[in-house]
Structure 1
Amino acid sequence: MRWRRIAERVGGLLLPAVAYGETFGNAGFPGTISLSFDTVRAITLDVCSALHRHGARGLIVVNGDFGNQAPLKLAAREARERFGLPVLVVDYPGLAETAAAVCDTEPAGPGFFHADEVETSVMLAAAPDAVDLRHAVAEYPQFPPTFPALFAGLETMSTSGVFGDPTTATGAKGEALLDGLTDAATGLVRAFLRDLA
Structure 2
Amino acid sequence: MTWGEVEKRLKENDIIIVPVGSTEAHGPHAPLGEDTFLVTRMAELVALKVGCTVAQPIWYGSHPYHHMGMPGTIVVPEEIFLGQLRAVIAGLWNMGFRKQILLNGHGQEYVIPTAIHQFAKRYQVPGIFINLNWYHAIPEHFKTKEEGGSYETHFIHADEVETSWCLALFPELMDMEAAVDTKPRGYLPEGHVDRAGNLLQRPIAWYGHVGLGPIEVAAYPEGVVGEATLAGAEKAR
* TM class, shorter-length: 0.7 to 0.9
The residue correspondences of 1:60-79 to structure 2 (distance < 5 A) are 60-66=101-107, 68-79=108-119
Alignment match, 1:103: 150
Match of 2:209 among 150, 158, 162: 150
* Aligned equivalent of 1:120, options 157, 163, 186: 163
Which letter does structure 2 place at the counterpart of 1:158?
Y
- Aligned twin of 1:189: none
Equivalent residues, number: 170
Q: CA offsets, 1:122-163, max 9 Å, x none? A: 222233243222332322321233853223533344343322
Point out where structure 2 has 5 or more consecutive residues left out of the alignment. Answer: 1-38, 194-205
Secondary structure in structure 2 of the residue aligned to 1:70: coil
1:48 corresponding residue in structure 2: 89
CA offset at residue 69 of structure 1?
1.6
Alignment partners' CA distance in 2, 1:52 and 1:75: 14
The within-5 A match list for 1:19-30 is 19-24=59-64, 25-30=66-71
In structure 1, the gaps of 5 or more residues are 177-197
2:132 alignment counterpart: 90
One-letter code aligned to 1:77: H
Q: Is the 8 A contact 2:62 2:76 kept in 1?
A: yes
Other-structure match for 1:3: 43
Is this contact kept in 1: 2:112–2:131, CA < 8 A? yes
Task: Give 1:190's aligned residue.
Answer: none
TM-score computed with the length of structure 1 as normaliser? 0.74
Amino acid at match of 2:163: T
Please give the alpha-carbon distance, in whole angstroms, between the structure 1 residues aligned to 2:165 and 2:96: 35
Q: CA deviation at 1:14?
A: 1.1
Which secondary structure state, in structure 2, belongs to the residue aligned with residue 38 of structure 1? helix
Letter in 1 for 2:110: A
Whether contact under 8 Å (1:76, 1:86) holds in the other structure is: no
Residue range with higher mean Cα deviation, 42-51 or 90-99: 90-99
Q: Does 1:136 align with 2:176?
A: no
Identity of paired residues, percent? 25
For the Cα contact (< 8 Å) 2:104–2:131, is it kept in 1? yes
Give the structure with the higher percent helix.
Answer: 1
C-alpha distance in structure 1 between counterparts of 2:102 and 2:69, whole Å: 27
Partner of 2:231: 169
